[in-house]
Amino acid sequence: MITKFKLFERNSYEIYGDLVNYLDDDFIEKYYNEKLAYDDVEEIISLWPNLIWNNIDDEGFVNAWKEDEINNYTIEEFSVYDFKKYLENNWNDEIENEVLKIWKENYEDDDDKYSEYSGFMLSDLNEDELKDVIQDVDDEGEFVKKTVEDRYKDEDAQSLIRNMYGDVEQMGGKDLLHIVDYYIDDEGIKKDYIEGEDFSYKKDSVGNNITDDKDLQYKIIEADKDAILNLVELFVDDDSTDNIMLDNPYKYQKMYMKKYAKANKGDDMAKANALKYINDHFGLDDRIKEKYHEHTILVDIDNYKI
């Protein structure tokens, strides 16, 4: 009796590599991009969060951030530094007179009278007194607006988020997406992700999908019918239960036998072995049994010799 045997001695990874080489690069690129690439922005960002920074409306994000602070902050949220900087940058006669008035009320003594403003007076004022100056010139709203705008004039979305939440690189992609969601270009992120994938990875991914996609199997056969030998070997190695050999048994068993016979120079014993291999793993089609009747008989004979 002919013993059960394996026609080839390769692993699945090697077979995938051989099969995907039947496909041209343009097809691989298109197939990967359309069928295997991630299409969900949240999923992409969770894996490659840095794609956000080239695809965010920086100006829109920063303006919205500033607007939120302007609308929600009061003068109480700011510091002595902010008060002095604002007064110095917006100095006018009204501010000067108000500083002079408040300084005289709190610091002037009978031995040292001032009728005009002097530079040291602003420095002498404490936090509450500086706030009084700003409020007395009826400018609190303008102070908040200008101070916030000045604070963020050189910021972008990434630096703002880092200042507020810490190390951006350590944030989870989904957490980051939650913060910037309304300001990112989804299509730009998808495009950058696709273009950033290494072609060899795309090629491997397409190869690994061969047993799961009969259309891909058909495409490989269309490219070169010799590929049927590798395909059958792959189906067996991967225990495939949904493939073209089962889809159209007669057509592809016939193709397999023809190509296998050619590869083995028509050797009768090789044909018999191939028939047994197909039968063990797919079940021989009745028309194949009839066509190769003489060879199927050989499978059941001990010590067959040509």
pLDDT at 227: 94
Q: Mean pLDDT, the chain, as a whole number?
A: 88
What confidence tens digit (pLDDT) does each residue in 217-250 have? Answer: 999 999 999 999 999 999 998 888 889 999 899 9
Could you tell me the pLDDT band of residue 119, with boundaries at 50, 70 and 90? confident
pLDDT at 205: 94
What φ, ψ does residue 112 adopt, rounded to 5°? -140, 85
pTM of the model: 0.70
Could you tell me the pLDDT band of residue 166, with boundaries at 50, 70 and 90? confident
Average pLDDT over residues 202-213: 93
Average pLDDT over residues 245-257: 93
What confidence tens digit (pLDDT) does each residue in 40-76 have? Answer: 998 998 888 889 999 999 999 999 999 999 999 999 9
What confidence tens digit (pLDDT) does each residue in 87-105 have? Answer: 999 999 999 999 999 999 9
Contacts 24+ apart (CB under 8 A), 21-29: 22/220, 22/223, 22/224, 22/227, 23/206, 23/219, 23/220, 23/223, 24/223, 25/199, 27/219, 28/199, 28/202, 28/203, 28/206, 29/199, 29/202
